[in-house]
Structures are given as C-alpha cells and as structure tokens.
Structure 1
Amino acid sequence: MVEVFELFVRDFAIIMIIASVMALISHRLKQPMVIAYIAAGMIIGPHTPPFSLVTQIETLELFAEIGVVLLLFVVGMEFPIQKLRKVGAKASIIAAAEAAGTFLAGYGVGQLLGFSFFDSLFVALAISVTSTVIVMRVLEELKMIKDEAATLILGTAIIEDIIIISMLAVMQSVASTGGLSFSEIGISVGLVLAFIGGAIFLGAKTVPRFIDFIGKTNNYDVLLVAMLGVCFGMAFIAFELGISVAAGAFFAGVLVAESRMHSTAHILATPLKDMFAAVFFISVGALMDITLLPMFIVPALILIGVSFAAKFFTVWSSARAQGFSKLTSARAGFGLSSSGGELALVAAKGGADVGVTSAFILPMIGAMTIITTFISPYAIKYGWKFAERWRPKGSEDTATPKDTEKT
C-alpha cells in the first residue's frame, strides 16, 4: 500500500511539474493552455521514447474523468435554465441538421475509401460528434464563454450528444440482432429525456433551495462540499442511467446557477476545475501512440476535412435559416466543427463491442480525436476572428439578426 501511494505521489508530482513548465511556455507564446497540457501528456506518456515518466496510467485516467465532471459542472454554472431555453428549439434543429449531414457525408466518404458497411457507419457516427468539453474549455480560455454564439454552441452540442447516443443504440441493435429493437431504443431515449426533464423541472425546485440554505451558514467549506455532493450525485445518477457523467455534471451546474449563491459557488469551484481539467487534457496526450499514425494518417486526415466541412456547412446554413446573424452563424459553425472529442471514441468502441468493425477503426478514431483536439483552439480562435467581418458596424452581436441585419 505504501509503495503504491509513493508511486502515485511521484507520478502526480511529475505531471504537475511538467504541466506547469509547458503551461508557462504556452503563456509566453500566447497559445491556448489546452495545447500545453496535451504536449505535457505526450512528454510523460508511455508511448514517448525512451520510457514513460509515469507508472500509474490508470490513476491518470481516473483523475481525467474527475476533470471532465468538474469542468462540465463549472461550465453549467454559466448557463442557467432560462438561458438554455432561449436557444433550445433552435439548437435542436441545428443539432439534428449537423448530425444528419455529417453522418451522411462520413458514410459516403467511408465507402469511397473502401471501408466495409459497418466500418463506414460507425466512422460516420464518430466524426459526427463535437466535444462539449474541449470546445467549452477553449471558449472559456479565450474569454468567449458568454458570447451569444457560445450559448448556441453549448445548447447544440448537448442536444447533439443525445442524438449521437440514441443513434449508437440503434446501430448497435441493428448490428447485433440484424434488426431494429424498438423497445431498447425507446428505453434508451426515454431515460435520457427523463433525466433531462427531471433535472430541469424537479431539480430546479430543490437544488437551488438547498444551495441557498447551505449558503446561509456563511461557511465556504460547507458550501463547497455541498456543491460537490450535488455535482457528483447527479453525475452518478446519469451514469447509472447509461448517460454520460459529463451530462449529469453539466445539469448539476445549471441547477446551481439558479441559486442566489451561484457567483460564490462559481468562484469556489473554479480552482478545483482548473486542476482536474488540466489532468484530463494531459491524459489525452499521454495516451497518444504516435507510432501508429503512419498506418492510417491519410484516411484520418481526409475524414477530418470532411467532418469539418460538413459540420460548418450544416451549422451555418441551418443557423442562417432560423434567422441568426452571419456573425453568430459563422462563429457557431467554427465552434461546432472543430473537435471530435471523447464521445467519438465511445461511438467507435460501440462498433468494436458488437464485433462488426475492423481493428483499425478504434485507433484511427483515437488519432483523429488527438489531431482535432490540437486543431480546435486555433480553429475557434482564428475562425472567430475571421467571422468578425460579418459584425454589423456600430453594433454588438445578437441572437437573431432579424433584429439587426437582413443581409
């Protein structure tokens, strides 16, 4: 036991020291911290010659999962229920258009590349994903999290996750049984909708009151513990229902945002979120096996290009069709098209779990996830600057351009 603890302390010390050095370099070069953390992970990881600097990769992965939960919890605090409702219906249309358009494009390209039927299906599903974690982290880091487009991006990404999870259930059912199991699909979709409905309607009546009650003690230690209890409690409920723990944590943050103590809660949770979120991105870099890239780098790059183009076009066109300004539409397009994320690996693994995809699919999607994670900060940062050309002169960006511009 003592030896295991000693190795853990050693590994964590190495992780934090190298991450801090890379973060300092990134700060000096004025680059996003996400890149620094991934680079730190690649330096300490088991796939970087001559040897791995960490011994307990499982511990790193565990802390990464905690990082995802805390990151989405704090992000959820930026989006109270009223703010989400504002873009809910429109975000649903954009998410459906993006998922369908990217899926069809990915399947077609997979067939052209000579993939099998199920390889093409699961690859198409994987490239249809946008990482809520990565995109929100980049927007937060670039001080863009409160922009109107950021709200639209988050709403779309959450709904898209629900669509992707539902599609995965359908595809696995078809692949394993040779036919549609409508009962399983109905149960899966019903659980997701029940969780979201319960969080919004029932949770909103209890969680904010609980947080405000704890806040009356004026003891920040008690408030922090109570918040973490809500965060991980909802994450656990989501996990037990077969939903992403990140989704549970996000809606926990949304409910805390409804309380009168939300500003204090945000300040208390931010340091924890920053530390564990850093570990999450370090783990992404640590698990990257760069020796496998030559095997599938060409199809991976083709699929990344297809994914980016399909997502941008579908988001831009569907947002414009609903009356969003060119500025907001372009920013949403760049934000939602830039990253595949961890759910892409879940989708790829779903095909492997039912034994219908080739062995190269999962590592290829993994490589694509790493590449797009590197690209995301730059795509968002420079994409949003490029979109500034569509800002109406003398005015701020708005949700609906019918109020500001007609062109």
Structure 2
Amino acid sequence: MTHLPHLIIDLGLILAAAGLITLIFKRLKQPLVLGYIIAGLLVGPHFDLLPTVIETENITIWAEIGVIFLLFSLGLEFSFKKLVKVGGASSIMALFEVVIMLVLGYLTGKLLGWSTMDSIFLGGILSISSTTIIIRAFDELGVKTQRFAGLVFGILIVEDLVAILLLVLLSTLAVSQQFAGTEMLQAVLKLAFFLVVWFLGGIFLIPTFLRKASKLMNDETLLIVSLALCLLMVILAAQVGFSPALGAFIMGSILAETTKAEKIEHLVASVKDLFGAIFFVSVGMLINPSIILTYAGPIVIITLVTIIGKVVSITGGGLVAGQGVKTSVKSGMSVSQIGEFSFIIATLGLTLNVTSEFLYPVAVAVSAITTFTTPYMIKLSDPLSNTIEKILPSRWRASLNEYSSGAQTIATTSDWQLVLKGYVINLVVYSVLIIAMVLLSAQFLDPFMTNLIGHDQLADVATATVTLLGMAPFLWALALHHPQKEAQGRIWANRNYRSLILVMEFSKIAISIMFITFLLDRFFSIQVAIVAGLVIIAAMIIFSRRIQQFYTRIENRFMSNLNAREINEAEKRHHTLTPWNVHLTSFEVQPESAVVGRTLAELQIREKFGINVAVIERGKRTIMPPTRQEHIFPGDKLYVFGFEEQVEAFRVFIESPSPDSAPDEAKEEIKLQKMVVSKGSPLLHKTILESGVREKTKGLIVGIEKNGKRILNPDSGLSFENGDIVWIVGSPWRIKQLEATRDGEIAS
C-alpha cells in the first residue's frame, strides 16, 4: 500500500472542512474568515467528533506562508501614495483610535489581573480594525460613495502602516521584556530608515525591470516573478532583523505603484486565498472551547471595550479634525471590530512565547463577535448621529459647526512652509540614501575590493572612490539643489530673512561635508577625511552642471516610475482602434467653451469635423448615445470617436472661448495666505474697507483671527489691531509686498 505523507492528509482535511463550512457561511451571508476559523476549530485537537490534523508543526509553516501572502496582498492594495493622499483628517482619526485603544487594552488587561505582556499585546490586538470586513460591509450596504466611507478608507490605510510599526515595536518589547526607551527609539528609527531605502530603491529599480521584461512575460511568468520579488524582500527583511510579514508588505506596496499592480493583484489572489485559508484555519485550530467558556466574562468585557472604545476614539478624532458630528459618529460606528492584523499580532505573541495561551482564543472570540455586529453598527450610525445632533445644546452645535468650517477652510501654503518642507524632505531622503551607500560599501564593497586587489590600502582607495562616485549626485542634491527655488527667491527678496536662508544653505553644505568625512574616516585619518571633504565639495561646485544632468536623469526615472500607474490610467482613456487608426477620446467642457448651452444639432459636430459624440457624462448620469437635441453644459465629459486629425481639430474648437465672453486678464497665481498685522503695518487701526487690501493684493479677506477668535468672512467695517492674523485669497507676491510695507509706505 502506498504511503501517503501526513502533510497531504492534513491539507486535504483542512481544505475539505474549510470548503464545506465556507459554503454554509456564504449561504448565511456571513464573513468567510469566520468560516475558516470555525473549520479550524472542527479539525483541531480540541474537537474529537471529526478527524484531527496530525502534524500541526507543518501546518504552522503553511500558516506562516499564508501570513506572508496575506500581507503581500494588503501591500498591493495599500500604496504609499494613497497614504499621502488620505489627508490630515483620516490620519488624526486613525492615530487617535490607535493610541486610545492601546491604552484601553492595556488597562483592561491589568484590571482583569493579566500580566504586563498580555495586557500590552491586548492593546495592540484591539487597536487595528479589519479592512476586509469593513469593505465587504460597505459593499453590501451600498455606502461606499458616502463621504464618511472615504474617511474610513483613509483610516484603514493609516492603520495598516501603524500595524506594521506595532509588529516591530512589540517584537522589540518581547525580546527586551521591558520598556527600554532607547531600544524602542532605535527600532523606530531603524524601521523608518529601511522603509525609505526600500521604497526609494524599489521604485527606482522594480518598475523599470518590469517594463523592460514586459515583452517576455505572460501571466505565468508575471506571477512567478511577483512571488519571487515578494519572497526576496521577505528574506532581506529577516536578514536585517524584521519580521517576514514586513518584507512582504513592503514589496506589495512597491508593486502597487507599478502599471502591473492590478494584474499582479489578480494573479496573486488565488495564491493568497489558498494560503490565507490555511492561516485562518490554523487560527481556529488553536482555539480551545474550554478556555473560551472559562474566559467568557473577560471576552464580554473586552468586546464592549472594543466597540465603545473604537466608536468614541474615532468620533473624538473626527471632531478634533473638524469633520462634524454626523460624519465622525458614522466613521466611528464603522470601525468597531478587530480582524486580520489582530490575529497576526496574537500569533506573534505566541510565537515569541511572551503571551499566555488564553489570549489567542480570547482575541479570536472578540473578533468573531465584533464581526457579526459590524453591519448592524453601520446601519445604526445614521439614526444615532441624528439623535446626537438633536440632543446637543444649540451652543455646542454652533461651536462645532464653526470649528468644522474653519478647520476645513482655513489653510496656508506660505513660502516658508514650502521651503522648509522641501528642505526637510531633501535632508531626510538624501541622508538616508548616502548612509545606505556608506553601509553597503563597508559591508560588501570593501571586502570585495580587498579580495580583488589584495592590497589593503589600494583597496580602501578604490572602495572610497567608487562609493563617492555613487554618492556624488545625491551629495550635490543635498548641498546645492533648491527644490523650491521660486518660493526661496520670494523670501530672499525680503532683506529680513536673508540671514536665515544663508544659514540653511551653509548647513546643507556642512552636512554634505560631514557625510563625506563619515565615509573617508572609515579608511583614512580624520585630517585626510576633512581635507578631502572640502576638496570634493569644491569639485562638486566646479562640475555642478554635469552632476546636475546626471542627477536629473535619476530623478526623472524615479518620478516616471512613481507616476507610471497614473499616466497609464490616463492613457487608457485614449482608446485606439489600431487597424483603422481611430480613437475614442474624452474632453471636459470648460465653462467658457464655445459649445456651452448649444445642442449637438446646432454644433453640427459630425458635419464639421467628421466625428461622433458617443457618450456624455454629466455628474453621476451617463447619456449613451446622446440625441441631436441634447444640450452641452459646463463640466460635461464628451467621448468622441474619430481619426487623430479630426479629434485634434475638434479639440481646438471645444477649447476655444465663446465669442460672447470677455477677454481674460493676465493670469496670476492665486493662493490662500496669511499675514500678521504688526505695529508698523499699514493696515493697523484701519477698517477692511479703508485698508485697500482688495486693490493692493487683488485679493479678498476671507478670515481674521483676533485674540484667538476666528471670524470667517468678516464685515468690511471691522478694524485691524496689532497681532491680528489676516487670511487673504489673492496674489502671493502682492500679499508679501503689502506685508513688507511699513509705516504707511505705499506698495507699488
């Protein structure tokens, strides 16, 4: 009789149980994740009525692979650019929730008499909501297009990154077994350093590689290459001391910026589903029903803490972020559950042997209960938010509305903000790249050169030379590049700020010299390193143009790769029927266009240009195909079909202004900026009407902060006092010119 390995028997048992239970859960319209967990409970060692998995160690390895692919898929949906776009409101709400739930989880554990490590891990488990469950609930309830749903998606994106940070911090804490501030800070800095290096290096190299190899790749090879990249990053993350899950997440987020992201996500889905099912089944196998019965009281308490704590923390964060009562409450009611990352954090505690056996099944039980309550919480959010708004005192309601309006309206993009932001980003990015090159040089290049040349001193010179050549464009960018040249020029025009600009410029050069010294000091004496640093900076100034050209090519390649997905999506809107060389192209109708207000029959587009208007998109309405009596309105998107020459002729026509419109004045940059009324200001003790701000700045005063009180759209009779902060929508250089005017001088 042929011997069948236990692993195959166990795998068959797991998948059979998972398939059967999930069919039942699909019929009951319940989350499949819970079905997998119950399947694991049925085939686990604590349930005797069905066959039991024999070699749990092998299943644990498969489950670890499941975590890797689960995090890889989350990374593909994540994208660092999405994190930048979610805005301050979602970030504030997510951080509010994470901090409050960490504290509540820890305090709950201590009140239940649990150990410090159990309480800390409980806080981590409760702090992250379930992306999968929330998205599924939003789909089923049809609320994805509502405003609060956009905020919730932003919160989930921020939470994903926080969860990765928590995995690193909890691993560090588990090893040290104490709150070592220095070690925790080192762990955070180390994580930030490698995140920047991996992201910058990955975006520069991987999209280029995929683009060059695209002609050789079919679905099979793309899947293999993607999984290989994922596992290579897993190995790299493990080599530098991070969890394998972090490496998978990072590679997923890098691939999310490529043009192949959707294709990879589709191809990996089956692999993720298979190993993800094994992971969640393994979660269920660790559940001991007797422990759940023993800890029924704590499970109920923790469930209530989870639901109430998340609702209150997200709602509070939303109010602080100026999102209003209704939006904040609806957001809070939507994220009142724990899920995938909570299981991973609980698994981490068990793997490191720092948490008690009961914590894992307790976390799974709380997740199951909160998963079932999620749809009902979302349904209740609307009536609850309406009730809260009704019972709030009118004074509180007015204050919240005023604060919300001010928080969402008043923002500034001053020149100093632009310059300082550019300065900090440049300093961080180029410093990380240079330090990474120095470390790689010492770790790999120097031993290679020593073996190749055989003479230690010559090997040191060769290593230093090669490393400096690689660092040159980034040293030049750090020392001499000005990312916000125009804003810096406007600040330089004010003599009062020139000394600060000079300090910033010299500090950049000093930091560059320090990095050169840091490299050369590893091979030569400190005196030689300092002198060489000064000589290299001088050479960089002399050969600045050539280095700049090389740096520009690097920067253009990086930005091209970073924006490739958006560019590709834009190009998809320009469809081509290759054999006939005709295109389907979209045009958005501007308010001043000559076509506004006229029907298709009046415009005679087909007769004049030989093209057809196939579709008109008007807001949420799609008119397909439009009749000849259909009017064209501002904001309409017209999809036209024709040859390239015909489409270009129509482009000129649709972009031409109406003959009835007045000629445009010379355009100026318009921004919302602030100026402070000082003792020497020409605005002091004058009313808005008397000040002539409208004429001098070609702008409009939209807000004033007076003695800490915000006045939106102030009356023209309001007087300016010393210390008032004035918010003006107008020409930035005119506003700066007015602010620089003192003692009644007239701005020219």
Q: TM tier, shorter chain?
A: 0.7 to 0.9
Q: Residue 169 of structure 1: CA displacement?
A: 3.4
Tell me which residue corresponds to 1:313.
Answer: 312
Gaps of 5+ in 2: 387-403, 410-748
**Structure 2 CA distance for aligned equivalents of residues 297 and 65 of structure 1:** 29
Partner of 1:47: helix, strand, or coil? Answer: coil
1:87 deviates by 2.8
C-alpha contact (below 8 Å) 1:345/1:362 kept by paired residues:
no
Q: 1:123 to 1:170 in 2, by over 3 A?
A: same
Q: Which residue of 1 aligns with 2:665?
A: none
How far apart in 2 are the matches of 1:32 and 1:24? 11
Task: Give the conservation status (yes or no) of the 8 Å contact 1:42–1:286.
Answer: yes
Give 1 or 2: higher helix fraction: 1
Q: Are 1:259 and 2:255 an aligned pair? A: no
Out of 364, 380, 383, the residue aligned to residue 374 of structure 2 is: 380
Count of paired positions: 380
The answer to whether the 8 A contact 1:239-1:245 is kept is yes
Match of 1:138 among 133, 140, 144: 133
Q: Do the aligned residues in 1 keep the contact of 2:330 with 2:381 (CA within 8 Å)? A: yes
- The amino acid that maps onto 1:208 is P
The aligned residue for residue 229 of structure 1 is 228
How many Å apart are 1:299 and its aligned residue? 2.6
Distance 1:269 1:160, change over 3 A: closer
- Give me the TM-score of the superposition, normalised by structure 1: 0.80
* Cα displacement string for residues 23-79 of structure 1 (whole angstroms, at most 9, x for unaligned residues): 111111111111111111111111112465211212222222212221222222223
Further displaced range: 262-271 or 192-201: 192-201
Mapped partners of 2:13, 2:236: distance in 1? 34
The 5-angstrom pairing of residues 221-370 of structure 1 reads 221-324=220-323, 326-327=326-327, 330-331=330-331, 334-335=334-335, 337-339=337-339, 340-347=342-349, 353=354, 362-370=356-364
Determine if the alignment matches structure 1 residue 44 to structure 2 residue 43. yes
RMSD: 3.4
Distance 1:17 1:243, change over 3 A: same
Single out whichever of 74-83 and 278-287 deviates more from structure 2: 74-83
Deviation at 1:268, TM superposition (A): 0.9
For the 8 Å contact 1:308–1:337, the answer to whether it is kept is yes
* Distance of aligned partners of 1:50 and 1:239 in 2 relative to their CA distance in 1, 3 Å threshold: same
Amino acid paired to 1:378? F
Secondary structure at the counterpart of residue 363 of structure 1 = coil
Q: Write out per-residue CA displacement over residues 76-97 of structure 1, whole angstroms, 9 at most, x where no aligned residue.
A: 2223332121237555544443
Deviations 1:284-316 (A, max 9, x none): 111111122333332343233223322332222
**Letter matched to residue 346 of structure 1:** L
Provide Cα deviations, 1:203-254, integer angstroms capped at 9, x if missing partner. Answer: 2212222233333324221111111012122222233333333332222122
Q: Write the distance in 1 (CA, Å) between the matches of 2:244 and 2:263.
A: 24
Quick check: which has more Rg, 1 or 2?
A: 2
Change over 3 Å in CA distance of 1:390–1:181 after alignment to 2: closer
Matched, 1:73 2:69: no
Identity %: 24
Tell whether the 8 Å contact from 2:36 to 2:284 is kept in structure 1 after alignment: yes
Whether the aligned pair in 1 keeps the contact of 2:333 and 2:381 (CA below 8 Å) is no
1:85 aligned partner: 84
Structure 2 partner of 1:127: 123
TM-score, normalised to structure 2, is 0.46
Question: How far apart, in 1, do the equivalents of 2:350 and 2:43 lie?
Answer: 26
Partner of residue 397, structure 1: none
- CA 1:402–1:232 in 2, change beyond 3 Å: closer, same or farther? farther
Q: Give 2:44's aligned amino acid.
A: G
Q: Taking structure 1 as reference, are residues 287 and 159 closer, same or farther at Cα in structure 2, changes over 3 Å only?
A: same
Verify the 8 A CA contact 1:153 1:336 in the aligned structure 2. Answer: no
Counterpart Cα distance in 1 of 2:304 and 2:116: 16
Unpaired runs of 5+ residues, structure 1, are 354-360, 393-400
Q: Tell me the distance in 2 between the aligned counterparts of 1:7 and 1:260.
A: 42
